Structure 1
Amino acid sequence: MLTIHTADEVRVAWDAEPVKDGAVAVEGTRIAAVGPLAALQERFPGTRVRRWPGTLGPALVHEGPLPEAPTPRERVHAVLKLGAVAVLEQHAGTPELRAAAERNDVVVLPGARPAGALVETGRADLAVFDEAGACLATVCAGRLVHRRR
């Protein structure tokens, strides 16, 4: 199912200029298109639109230890709640943590790297942050995995 995500501002990369009234069309696990909301709605008529307050951009890489929680699944979910969809191998060293990451489509990276960019055909990893930097929503491989109420 195709979904268009839009926010007050969209950044195709966190160091890029914000695009006002921008949007990202997501189909399955991939980004179908990035551009102005009006253009995406014209290209994909009748598509569901999720509107978010704040700034939408690429999901992050969590570079430190995973937050403490009672289970590996909860530790991985805590990372998703921060707007990250990737963790470093050195911090996901147990079989249980790796399995929890894999079940949730969280990428385990061999080393640090900057957050990606929102590009057509790229993996649909998005995060929305409010003005204070709190994560409002995380999309991991096209699936909404966190939404702050």
Structure 2
Amino acid sequence: MRTLHAAPMLRRTLDEEPTRDGAVLIDGDRIAALGSLDELVRAYPQARVRRWAGTLGPALVHDGPLPPAPTPRERVHALFRLGVGAVLAAQVTDPELRAAAVRNGVALLGSPRPPALAPDGRADLAVFAADGGCLATVVAGRLVHRRA
């Protein structure tokens, strides 16, 4: 099922100025389209729409040690609460931690790369509130974190 994630502000890269009333269409684990919510709703009327209050943009790349937590699963979920969708593989050498990361869809990167939203790219995105807190994280098209 296709899902449109929409927010009052959309940022395709972390250093780009956000645009108003943007949306990202996700089909499976890929980004199918980006644009204004109105144009994407017209083009894809059957898509489910998730509206978020905040700025929608690419999920972050974490380049340091993973946050401490009692279990590997909780360490991965601590990343999701920060809006992270990818980590450097060198930071995930413990087999149990690596398995938890892979099982939860975290992208393991060989080197840092600037996160970006692009058509046909992997559907890793996050929504941030004005205070910088993460409201939602989507990894490989799956909603993995939503702040209550």
The residue number in structure 2 matching 1:135 is 134
Q: Which residue of 2 aligns with 1:124?
A: 123
Unmatched tracts of structure 2, length 5 or more: none
Taking structure 2 as the reference length, the TM-score comes to 0.96
C-alpha distance in structure 2 between counterparts of 1:111 and 1:34, whole Å? 26
Distance 2:27 2:72 in 1: 29
RMSD value, Cα: 0.9
The Cα offsets for residues 63-90 of structure 1, whole Å up to 9 and x where unpaired, read as 1111111110110111111100111222
Q: Distance in 2 between matches of 1:112 and 1:48?
A: 33
> Partner letter of residue 105 of structure 1?
G
Shift of 1:113: 2.3
Q: Does 1:52 align with 2:52?
A: yes
Question: What residue is the counterpart of 2:109 in the other structure?
Answer: 109
> Which runs of 5 or more residues in structure 1 are unaligned?
none
Identity %: 61
Spell out structure 1 runs of 4+ moving beyond 4 A: none
- Bigger mean CA offset, 68-77 vs 84-93: 84-93
Residue 26 (structure 1) shift: 0.5
Distance, in Å, in 2 between the alignment partners of 1:90 and 1:30 is 25
Residue 38 of structure 1 corresponds to: 38
Alignment length (residue pairs): 148
Residue identity opposite 1:95 in structure 2: P
